[in-house]
Chain A
């Protein structure tokens, strides 16, 4: 009895050791293939958060390249969740991969945070998907509204990718145009392997287009802008979020970007706030490159998961609940689920003045969750 009392006394006198909460967050993103540019940004944003978690949290993570095949993404997710100890997953931004991963997340009850813009992923009633990039209904709404407000477009040409991202964005663009009584005079779906954009641009011009609305991935966006500059097309161009990526812009001369605008969730390179300026510095120091909206969005998403863990969410179920119900003030915007997993409800329009590769944020659009 005396011995037990002594042990208890020693334990009581010992300094309190606070054990850090551990978050296990696999990063499953496309870092090769046609979405390499965007996927690398997504990975880097996640890594920056995972390497600098909130005090009291340690983060465990592995990065897996999902390429561009849905099967590879599904296999990667199944492997990642197989030990039953995953807190949340940083999941591919490729829509076709996300659609394939959703059933696995549902079966294993693991939350997926993603930057995929494909509308369908949050329309399937799956409670484990959380999209931190504004949905197509938000960014495409901003893209078309800006084109109408600023350029007074009446006869746009819409050029989009044949991927899920391209088709989903195209559907939203057409919807917003129709709501404003505008019908495109020319539409073209391009495979990601198409490199020569001049035929599509020539046909848009021949059709009498007064503007170009794009829904292309980063590389194809750069190819099209280069071709448009070479043809001296002189039409207002409002691009998709592919334009906001530093690696896309790096492929073009400043003069080739003159007057071109694009939508995105946020523009960290424009460093509008002190928080964003610090993020920009940290990102550049870590990755020797400039961040884009996908990087800061995935940073915010990962930091929201880590903050939930810090606040006591110990399991995947706890984190899912926190993501579904909490309002989180991130660097790019304040995130709140609309009940379907759409967390981001703001978009910005960036434009280039032709003198540098750094865009200016020219317009903010808010689309509050209903």
Chain B
């Protein structure tokens, strides 16, 4: 039973990591917290459902189209909710991204209705049999695709001119502008990448966990927690924080299975208590290591 649960942790954690990474990229490039990130995950799920209704193919085929559409949406959000307000107090951008989230949520309710919808699986339904241990094909596919996307992101930032410019803008916008980097274009590009990552997470999650218009708040909360635990602004920290959340969500309530001595009748290891324990861990992290697990730079946390 450990293998399927461990794969589930990785699948869920990798999906959450995409959300958190998009959040961190925009945070680092602009200093602004994008509170619409969770709703962008939801939009990614619904866009996948719509695409699948026109192109009944496995979701993996739809992924490039989705990434392009979400990147375009990210640029639109930057133009509408960031650039007009970037010289105002930081609270103005927080509020504008909250407004974007509310608009997206209500637009989804109007367009798709309040009921949950399911996106197609990445490759197909079913499971692999590893000597009597069954592993979901979807979980394996989610891990593979999320790993590929995170790896591509690393390559983009570490080994391309575009990525180096993005990092330069994230480190110091004024110096970047002084040496001729088009800061506005780079910021728009960051919104595009961050939004595309959120959309990809929506595609990966919307088959197993479905998609509803109101679930964006749940994802932004998880992204925020992941970043607080991992370290505010830290990219490896965002990934580690996301995996830690998934670990608590999946493995903590499964402890009676992993350690039979605990006994399945114990209410100590339930889904509800896992949330309590996770929140206690966050509080302890803030007290003992306020910069988070991977935090290094001192930043102002809004």
Contacts and interface: CB of A to CB of B under 8 A. Distances in A.
Contacts of A202: 1, 5, 254, 257
B260 A198 contact: no
A200 B269 CA distance: 10
Contacts of B138: 230
Given A193-B218, A196-B12, A230 B116 contact: no
B115 A194 contact: no
Contact of B254 (A186, A190, A203): A203
A188 B270 contact: yes
Interface string B117-160: 11000000111010000101011000000000000000000000
A178 interface: no
A36 B115 contact: yes
B227 to A, nearest CB: 21
A199 B210 contact: no
Interface in B84-126: 109, 113-118, 125-126
The dominant DSSP class at the B interface is mixed
Given A186-B264, A232-B134, A247 B125 contact: no
B250 A251 contact: no
B33 to A, nearest CB: 23
Interface in B35-76: none
Interface in B226-271: 249-250, 253-254, 256-257, 260, 264-265, 270-271
Interface stretch (A48-56, A218-226, A309-317): A218-226
Contacts of A186: 264-265
Most buried by A among B5, B127, B136, B271: B271
Interface in A145-189: 162, 185-186, 188-189
B171 interface: no
Interface stretch (A83-91, A120-128, A252-260, A319-327): A252-260
A137 to B, nearest CB: 27
Contact of A206 (B116, B214, B256, B271): B256
Contact of B250 (A37, A196, A206): A196
A207 interface: yes
Nearest to B246: A196
Given A202-B5, A219-B210, A255-B125, A230 B139 contact: yes
B182 interface: no
A250 B264 contact: no
Interface string B190-216: 000000000000000000111010100
Interface residues of A, number: 42
B136 A223 contact: no
Contact of B125 (A31, A191, A222, A253): A253
Q: Which of B113, B114, B253 has the most CB of A within 10 A?
A: B114
Contacts of A204: 264
A203 B256 contact: yes
B68 to A, nearest CB: 27
Contact of B114 (A32, A198, A199): A32
Nearest to A204: B264
A211 to B, nearest CB: 16
B253 A200 contact: yes
A199 B271 contact: yes
A120 B136 CA distance: 41
Contact of B260 (A33, A37, A206, A223): A206
A191 B274 CA distance: 12
A203 to B, nearest CB: 5
Given A206-B257, A230-B138, A232-B134, A256 B125 contact: yes
A195 interface: yes
B264 A251 contact: no
A203 B264 contact: yes
A202 B5 CA distance: 9
B118 A195 contact: no
B264 A207 contact: yes
A219 B118 CA distance: 11
Contacts of A253: 125
A198 B116 contact: no
A194 B212 CA distance: 14
Contact of A31 (B114, B126, B256): B114
Contacts of A252: 118
Contacts of B270: 188-189
Contacts of B109: 32
Contact of A230 (B12, B136, B249, B256): B136
B190 to A, nearest CB: 29
Given A186-B264, A198-B254, 12 more contacts: A36-B115, A40-B114, A191-B271, A196-B250, A203-B264, A206-B1, A206-B260, A227-B208, A229-B125, A230-B136, A232-B127, A247-B115
26 contacts: A33-B114, A36-B115, A37-B116, A40-B113, A40-B115, A188-B270, A189-B270, A191-B271, A194-B271, A196-B12, A198-B254, A199-B250, A200-B253, A202-B254, A202-B257, A206-B260, A207-B264, A219-B212, A223-B209, A226-B208, A227-B208, A230-B134, A230-B208, A231-B127, A251-B116, A251-B118
Interface of B: 1, 4-5, 8, 12, 109, 113-118, 125-127, 129, 134, 136, 138-139, 208-210, 212, 214, 218, 249-250, 253-254, 256-257, 260, 264-265, 270-272
Closest 9 CB pairs of A and B: A36-B114, A230-B136, A199-B253, A232-B134, A207-B264, A199-B254, A251-B118, A202-B257, A195-B209
